[in-house]
Chains A and B, each alone.
Chain A
Amino acid sequence: MNFAISNLLPVLPEVFVLTMACVILIADLLIRQSGRMATYLLVQLTLLGCSLIIVGTHENGVVYAFHDMVVDDLMSDVLKLLTCLALSMMLVYSRQYLTARDLFTGEFMVLVLFALLGMMVMISANHFLTLYLGLELLSLSLYTIVALQRDSSVAIEASMKYFVLGALASSLLLYGMSMLYGATGALQLSVVSQAIQSGAADKNLLVFGLVFMVSGLAFKLGVVPFHMWVPDVYQGAPTAITMLIGSAPKLAAFAFAARILAEGLQPLVQHWSGMLIILAIASMALGNISAIAQTNLKRMFAYSTITHMGFLLLGLLSGNTEGYGASMFYVVVYALMSLGAFGMIMLLSRADGFEADTLNDFKGLSRRSPWLAFLMLLLMFSMAGVPPTVGFYAKFSVLNAVVQAGHIWLAVVAVLFSLIGAFYYLRIVKLMYFDAPESHAAITFEQDTVLLMSANGLGVLLLGLLPSKLMSVCAVAVQQSLLLH
């Protein structure tokens, strides 16, 4: 195949991000700590540029590159755009917080860009090796970012746990991939799928490989019983970094799961959907019930993440386009809510190192700042899935797919666990509105943070009133991308 610059078009966003990451890495050496704002702006510009390139190079249909190693389709474009947006929001939210804790460094921002690159590779992968490559790039960046706060033993412990368990998960995934390779002789998703469909592959080997793959995936998503790292990492990492872990990578994780299960292993759907049912129910049960017992907000959100990921699996396991579309919608909505919730913790945290990460710190917020309390109320009701916030539509579309797939009992179970979940979200509202504040310290914040927070909170409401656009974007993206193979 002749090399032509046009062959690079589908991966131009990735190329751009990589280049910019390297440039910023060098440029940052020349910038003093006081001028860190310049680095920050450069990173924001990179994210903007990357988004523009994604939009500019968008083509209808599915485009492959590098011998079908990567794919550029509507789903990847939408998810990459949202990833850029999520990271950009994360940076705005965390600027003040990180500055106060001496974490607003060039390394942090370069690592964020590398994590972004990893996510983009994951989202666009069409080959087991590319998938793995992207995942490792993301994971290694995240391990390092968690450990950035060198003098905090909690953060180091969290990073260690994350690394050891993450490495285990990666090896499970690799092991599964090698088995599938042994059975089908292929690593490229569509070829794997065809090989399985032809019936020539050894069934036992396939199912063993599948089990390893699903376990690895479950580890990365943080669903029960592979969830042990989630609460510790969420609590141990500085809030800005928890936000980083809890938002954009979930988008990539969805793409990862969808590509493997819905594309590569679609012929084995009746095998993996059974496994996902168990994982989903266990996650919703354990996540919701454990979250009730938490007093630390970050830990509570960690358990709530476990639950949300269980819900995400519900959409995937229905095994139809509606289900995948619903899952994608769910994960996008989840990322939005999670950004807002962690953003709020950071807004309330103070420059002197005070962390507003316990439930008591939210007591009486409606008296200290009615507007912030109202935004948090919207976010919490959205997480609980109460209409007219967008969280309801996310849950609704997933339940819809589950009922359509014929698992009405599963929908009932999911609904009952959501009810338990509503309790601890409601408790935050209760603390904010019904209780007297413990501290009367003024809440100081930058204008841009509050603007973004308002947009985020009201966005949850507006998307709830007019959810149809985002829903159909997700549905169309999945339809165009996953079924064409």
Chain B
Amino acid sequence: MIHESNLLSLLIFLPVLGAAIIGLAPRNDGWSRWIALAFTLLVFVVSLPLWFSFDTASHEMQFVTRVSWIPAFNINYAVGVDGISVLLVLLTTLITPLCVLCSWKAIDTRVKEYMMALLVMEAALIGVFVSLDLFLFFVFWEAELIPMFLIIGVWGGQRRVYAALKFFLYTMTGSLPMLVAILALYYTGGETFDIRELSKGAYSATFQFWVFWAFFLAFAIKVPMFPFHTWLPDAHVEAPTAGSVMLASVMLKLGTYGFLRFSLPMAPDASHAFAPIILALSLIAIIWGSYMALVQTDLKKLVAYSSVGHMGFVTLGIFVFNSQGIEGAILQMVNHGITTGALFLCVGIIYERTHSRLILDCSGLRMTVPIYVTLLAIFSFASFGLPGTNSFVGEFLVLVGTFKSNLLAGAISIGGVVLTVAYMLWMLQRIVWGEHSREEGVVVADLNGREIATLVPLLVLVFWIGFNPEPFLDRIRASVKHVVSEMSSVRGVNNIEGHNDVVHPPLPDRRAQHAVVNTAAADRAPADSCRAPPCQISNWDRKQTL
């Protein structure tokens, strides 16, 4: 049995080992595929304890490992998961074997390099989610770019070079200011990169302002939020199927994960102050993304723009700062990974057969491919949140959270939901029942066993989360509660939560800390003395007193 504390390190290093083995093995496409599949499945199996032995009652980091890495700068190799990251790690380990499977036939040139890139990317993505050290986080955040850049650029479509460069430079633009912000945090927060330590610190308003916007740029580009989304359709359209799936299912989540992990805890005042801007951008993304999806003739572009809209829901949920919103946002991150990943897989499957992604060329599939059409329909329904599917739960929670805090934002986002239904159904109508556009005699084969095996795990999850979301929400809840309580203690008043959770965890009073930090910024008082004594008052009482 693997020791708990080594589990996350195994998840990071196993794929790298797999890549090395593929690299050293003779050039044989079959071997490369099988080794890659074996390792990604192994990683998935190894990651299962994260689901079974995760302590749902705690918001603390679990499965923690900590080894000194660069002592000169107090940098540690520190990894761990909490409720925010645990499902995302599992999502990554689940999606990667599916990506290997969907590339089985689709990739026939330089298979060896392709599989290596895929494995290295998995390692880096898991690394981003589990890093407890800001520096380590940044290393993984950047490292994950290299394999993705190659996957788009080498195995992509017509305009792959343009898309790959655009993807890389866009992301770099966001991450370099973040590097400076990380350095600034290091010095302001007491010469440490420890995320948990830095999250406890209280910083002056001006400092939070700069940190918030530096992080915002990096995360907003990654999500992508309007108006930073223009790289996404290009990258999605040009990337091979597995690239699109990884990008949509996992990589976009890095941005929203970053908001939750860094922006909210480290710059709480700034997050509150600028929440209206973020909400506005999220609403624009929802409406704009859906409108753009409506007019696309290219299937991949349609799904890409739908991602912009769906991720708008996630940022919306995060920045309403209540537990429903954030729980919904995290669940929606997972849901989007499942449904959009599945939709990209479906598009890839049809592309392999018709060599076109235009809706016009794929239309009228009707009864020729019944299994495919059934699955496509289910995933489309899941995408616009039909009750009984996973997205319904997530979107519903986000909407509840939004209505609680901001009626107008809620009303506008409902409009986005309607649009989502519209473009998804319209797309389905054309693909399934549209005019038959293929020449006579061209037979489109239905799904084979491998393709069904690729889609079934996602299908199961769609209904599992749809009908029984509790095990998933259960794992998220404690951490979300912690984030919300930290945030509300900053804001104090105007807390809409309250009534149902009466006994609050200890409430640190950040406002009071600011005075301490501002006067003695250079010599920061130890974190403990900054914290107000635990006070067991309900939010209702707080409202009265304030």
Q: Could you list which residues of chain A lie within 8 angstroms of chain B, going by C-beta atoms?
A: 366, 370, 377, 381, 386-388, 392-393, 396-397, 399-400, 403-404, 408, 411-412, 415-416, 418-419, 422-423, 426, 429-430, 433-435, 467-468, 471-472, 475
Are the CB atoms of A415 and B179 closer together than 8 Å?
yes
Nearest chain A CB to B180's CB is how many angstroms away?
5
Is B446 an interface residue when CB atoms closer than 8 A count as contact? no
Question: Out of A412, A430, A468, A472, which one reaches B165, CB within 8 Å?
Answer: A430
Cross-chain contact B145 with A386 (CB below 8 angstroms): yes
Residue of B nearest to A410 (CB): B180
Contact indicator B70/A416 (Cβ below 8 Å): no
Looking at the assembled complex, report how far the CB atom of B29 sits from the nearest CB atom of chain A, in whole angstroms: 14
What's the nearest-Cβ distance from chain B to residue A376, in Å? 13
- CA of A366 to CA of B116 in the docked complex: distance in angstroms? 14
Contact indicator A399/B153 (Cβ below 8 Å): no
Q: How far is the CB of B366 from chain A (nearest CB, A)?
A: 39
CA distance A461 to B184 in the complex (A): 26
Contact of B153 among A397, A416, A418, A434 (CB under 8 A): A434
Q: 9 shortest A-B CB distances, which residue pairs?
A: A387-B139, A468-B70, A415-B176, A403-B183, A387-B142, A434-B153, A411-B180, A434-B161, A388-B143
Asked if B183 and A411 sit within 8 Å, CB to CB, the answer is: yes
Rounded to whole angstroms, the CA-CA distance of A397 and B187 in the bound complex is 13
| Contact between A433 and B154, CB atoms less than 8 A apart | yes
List chain B positions with a Cβ less than 8 A from chain A.
Answer: 69-73, 110, 113, 138-140, 142-143, 145-146, 149-150, 153-154, 160-161, 164-165, 168-169, 172-173, 176-177, 179-180, 183-184, 186-187
Pair B180/A386 contact, Cβ less than 8 Å: no
CA–CA, A411 to B182, complex, Å? 12
Whether the Cβ atoms of B72 and A471 lie closer than 8 Å is yes
Chain A residues with CB below 8 A from B143, complex form: 386-388
Q: Are A434's CB and B160's CB within 8 A?
A: yes
Contacts of B154 in A (CB 8 A): 366, 433-434
Cα distance, A396 to B193, chains bound together (Å): 14
> Is A403's CB under 8 angstroms from B187's CB?
yes
Q: A400-B183, A412-B177 are in contact. Are A468 and B71 (CB under 8 A)?
A: yes
* CB-defined contacts of B113 to chain A, threshold 8 Å: 366, 370
Name the CB-closest residue of B to A370: B113
Q: Main SS of the interface on chain B?
A: helix
A419 touches B176 (CB 8 A): yes
CB-based contact A467/B70 at 8 Å? yes
Query: Residues of A contacting B142 with CB < 8 Å?
Result: 386-388, 392
A residues within 8 A CB of B146? 377, 381, 386
Q: How far is the CA of A296 from the CA of B213 in the complex (A)?
A: 39
| CB-defined contacts of B140 to chain A, threshold 8 Å | 387
Contact B138 A387 (CB under 8 A): yes
Residues of A within 8 A of B73 (CB): 397, 400
Contact of A403 among B70, B177, B184 (CB under 8 A): B184
The CA of A366 and the CA of B183, in the complex, are separated in Å by 36
Bound CA span A386–B150, Å? 14
In the complex the two chains form, is A422's CB within 8 Å of B172's CB? yes
Contacts of A471 in B (CB 8 A): 70, 72
Q: Which residues of B contact A415 (CB under 8 A)?
A: 176-177, 179-180
Cβ-defined contact, B180 with A419, below 8 A = no
CB neighbours of B153 from chain A (8 A): 430, 433-434
In the assembled complex, the CB of B173 is this many whole angstroms from the nearest CB of chain A, namely: 6
A349 CB, min distance to chain B CBs, angstroms: 25
Q: Give the docked Cα–Cα distance between A468 and B73 (Å).
A: 9
17 contacts across the A-B interface (CB closer than 8 A): A366-B110, A386-B142, A400-B183, A403-B180, A403-B184, A408-B184, A415-B179, A415-B180, A416-B176, A419-B172, A426-B165, A426-B168, A433-B153, A434-B153, A471-B72, A472-B72, A475-B72
Q: Closest residue of chain A to B214, judged by CB? A: A412
With A423-B169, A433-B154 known, 14 other A-B pairs at CB within 8 A are: A392-B139, A399-B179, A400-B73, A403-B187, A404-B187, A408-B180, A411-B183, A415-B177, A423-B165, A426-B165, A430-B164, A434-B153, A434-B161, A468-B72
Quick one: which of A387, A415, A467 has the most chain B CB within 10 A? A387
Which residue of A has the minimal Cβ distance to B139?
Answer: A387
Q: Which residues of B contact A396 (CB under 8 A)?
A: 179
A405 smallest CB distance to B (angstroms): 11
Chain B hits for A472, CB < 8 A: 71-72
A475 to B71 Cα, complex, angstroms: 12
A360 CB to closest chain B CB, in angstroms? 15
Cβ of A430: which chain B residues have Cβ within 8 Å of it? 153, 161, 164-165
Kindly provide the distance from the CB of A57 to the nearest chain B CB, expressed in whole angstroms: 28
Chain B residue nearest to A371 in the complex (CB): B23
CA distance A475 to B140 in the complex (A): 25
Q: A403-B180, A403-B184, A408-B180 are in contact. Are A468 and B69 (CB under 8 A)?
A: yes
Shortest beta-carbon distance, B191 to chain A, in Å? 10
A482 to B335, CA, bound (A): 58
Residue of A nearest to B156 (CB): A434
B110, B150, B176, most chain A CB atoms within 10 A: B176
